[in-house]
Structure 1
């Protein structure tokens, strides 16, 4: 829990007076009570990050007020150790109660553990697969991958992860016996599967497991001669730091992923992540500059019908949506609602996870701007989707929304929404263990 500090309160009061605003005027602008602002200024109450963002924007502090909010120290997400593509056994336990586990083990550790099995089978490691079989597996796996990503929009990660892990293993295993050209394509597709597994694992709330899978995606891609995915791994690591509210590390990782040697799409996605990091820090100019760079880079991307898209495939205008996202963190909720309204109107209704993710953020923007009835009206139809997709990242914003609405606990719409919102904001998102 944040501790009261006179530093923020003194700086807030100084900037408020310099701007010629009374406490009443500031209260009306940020939708916090005059009494609460008075306690914050006198160092009797700790400010939330949301309050700091709003005050920073209203008083044009360019991040100075946000910088005074202490953050919980967190280690930079470490890059997991590289793994040899074919020197690791994967063990998966599937339980009827929905609790599943995944554990990678070295071959020697596996033999030493003496793991008992009811059933074993093996493929002939010395025989090459025929070119026709390799092409057939590639075509089938690409088609399945598109379907799996669509399913990931409408179901919780724990139900989809076992089949995705198994498919990744199959592609990895087949690559060992394929001809050179087919091997590269099998490894490239396997890396996309592994990267998607990493994202879904993060959706369960398991950061360590997510980073492990992202590194395995890099290893598979590199084994097939593709070094570019290592750049996207930095974007994924930056997503972890983003949800830790670590603006500095988010920006640093995203900038490292914007090397001129990487494909425009990866650099564009990295620029979007950089913009989100700047938004956390309250730096409007830097955030908008990064978004402009992202739009220019993503416009230059060359699409291939054979390769799955890196990053989201459900946002018609990802830069526009991320702009709305950033405006919330920049303390500009009214501008955010306008942009998010435009962008959500373009998202397909079958993209439930995407609708929920950005829909909750839109509701947060409305609540932050004081439009409580509308915020509640937007939130209510999203809650079934929240329960369905069980996303740790969505839950982060849902908890933030619940905290804002808690300030209006006597409001009829809040009283009606409150019980279920509270339940879902406390919901555990993980039904399995996927960490190495």
Structure 2
């Protein structure tokens, strides 16, 4: 796609200005670089297909802009050109369109898209999907991700059917689809499929933008930062976390979670001062969040419960202070053991066991590690498995300790089993 110098770029600019958007506000809304958008509108850079679609959504053109400027059939998501992303933007995976079920989804009875309902019918549908997602979240805290992912996929397809082909789809349905995609992304991460987790998270971001759900849109950047954290890429963690927390209009709880991610990114770098600054900022935001009204904050970890004590202990491990980490994580895990999900107990229990072993307290590490191992065996958590792998490595580096060596052998057996089942 090329711009003849003024035609396509000028039309994009005209639509933006007619919608009352500045370049800065549009760049923030669709998460593109402002300079790149300026070059596109002046005809200096060709806009990719995806960028035209985002202009269409952001300016409320209801498909008219994309239809006029992008004649022909829409390409499948996996065939998006690299030019669809500005060079200065973060790496972005090929994302499934939230309106089009991906090819690997089961085929069912044909349903005509474009469901149009009155206010009462729409409200009933949203309430039903909300209740169903809440049940799946409860199940997902205790059982393997493979148990809930097919149901999440089915819900997403159903919501897509209700919102596709509708000139002005109900925002509540779009938001519910975004929440479903966000949770599916986390379950895909827990199943060990980072690529699928990125696709689901991208779909959630796109739907949240369409539904004008600023808080959930920002939270998808927090989720992407988490994926980069587990991939060991602190620079991307920080860029994504800062992007998520830079909008002062986003609810303080979401911005606090973004600050937590930034703190973890700095800890991964070994930058203690910056890490503690971000963790302190997170606590300030969280403390003041109770007085700020938020709409639809039913997403994120334990429905946006404060993970501050866990994150702080997590960071001290990466900062090379295992004794301090063990102190903080032991208190956090001990206070919430009865209420915390089995999935959470597996992850943070494994982290706590690692802190004990690195601090030279092997017996304590083995005792905590055994409890974490039982939780991971039940939930098949890929993220917790990663902590267990590191724990085994630390045990191998420590002085010979028979109970620790036996525990390491049992952990290797579980990890081999998990590697073979793909999170089922």
TM-score of the alignment, normalized to the shorter chain, above 0.5: yes
For structure 1, which segment, 334-343 or 363-372, has the greater mean C-alpha deviation from structure 2 after superposition? 334-343
SS of equivalent to 1:424: helix
Structure number with the bigger relative contact order (C-alpha 8 A, sep ≥ 6) is 1
Over aligned residue pairs, what C-alpha RMSD do you find? 2.7
Distance 1:352 1:345, change over 3 A: same
Q: Does 1:403 align with 2:393?
A: yes
Which one has a larger percent helix, Structure 1 or Structure 2? Answer: 2
TM, length-normalised to structure 1: 0.70
CA-CA distance at 1:392 after TM superposition: 1.5
Asked whether the 8 Å contact 1:77–1:237 carries over to 2, the reply is no
Q: Does 1:192 align with 2:192?
A: no
Asked whether the 8 Å contact 2:185–2:196 carries over to 1, the reply is yes
SS of equivalent to 2:300: coil
CA-CA distance at 1:400 after TM superposition: 0.7
Match of 1:63 in 2: none
The 5 Å alignment of 1:302-341 reads 307-313=296-302, 317-341=306-330
2:384 and 2:409 mapped to 1: Cα distance? 18
1:340 and 1:330 mapped to 2: Cα distance? 14
1:77 and 1:378 mapped to 2: Cα distance? 38
SS of equivalent to 1:345: helix
2:162 and 2:102 mapped to 1: Cα distance? 15
Match of 2:251 in 1: 263
For 1:161, which of 149, 154, 157 is the aligned residue?
149
Match of 1:208 in 2: 195
For 2:101, which of 70, 89, 99 is the aligned residue?
89
CA-CA distance at 1:261 after TM superposition: 3.6
Asked whether the 8 Å contact 1:85–1:223 carries over to 2, the reply is no
CA-CA distance at 1:196 after TM superposition: 0.6
Deviations 1:55-95 (A, max 9, x none): xxxxxxxxxxxxxxxxxxxxx97213466543x2334457x
Asked whether the 8 Å contact 2:114–2:164 carries over to 1, the reply is no
Q: Does 1:80 align with 2:96?
A: no
TM, length-normalised to structure 2: 0.72
2:191 and 2:371 mapped to 1: Cα distance? 22
For 1:342, which of 315, 331, 336 is the aligned residue?
331
Match of 1:273 in 2: 261
- Structure 1 residues without counterparts, runs of 5 or longer: 1-75, 95-116
1:352 and 1:398 mapped to 2: Cα distance? 15
Match of 2:405 in 1: 415
CA-CA distance at 1:407 after TM superposition: 2.7
For 2:161, which of 168, 173, 178 is the aligned residue?
173
CA-CA distance at 1:308 after TM superposition: 4.4
Distance 1:299 1:170, change over 3 A: farther
Q: Does 1:367 align with 2:380?
A: no
SS of equivalent to 1:370: coil
2:212 and 2:305 mapped to 1: Cα distance? 30
CA-CA distance at 1:280 after TM superposition: 1.0
2:151 and 2:368 mapped to 1: Cα distance? 34
2:90 and 2:416 mapped to 1: Cα distance? 25
1:220 and 1:289 mapped to 2: Cα distance? 33
Asked whether the 8 Å contact 2:105–2:153 carries over to 1, the reply is no
Distance 1:394 1:322, change over 3 A: same
Match of 1:7 in 2: none
SS of equivalent to 2:170: helix
Deviations 1:295-330 (A, max 9, x none): 112233367797243321178541111001001111
Asked whether the 8 Å contact 2:228–2:237 carries over to 1, the reply is yes
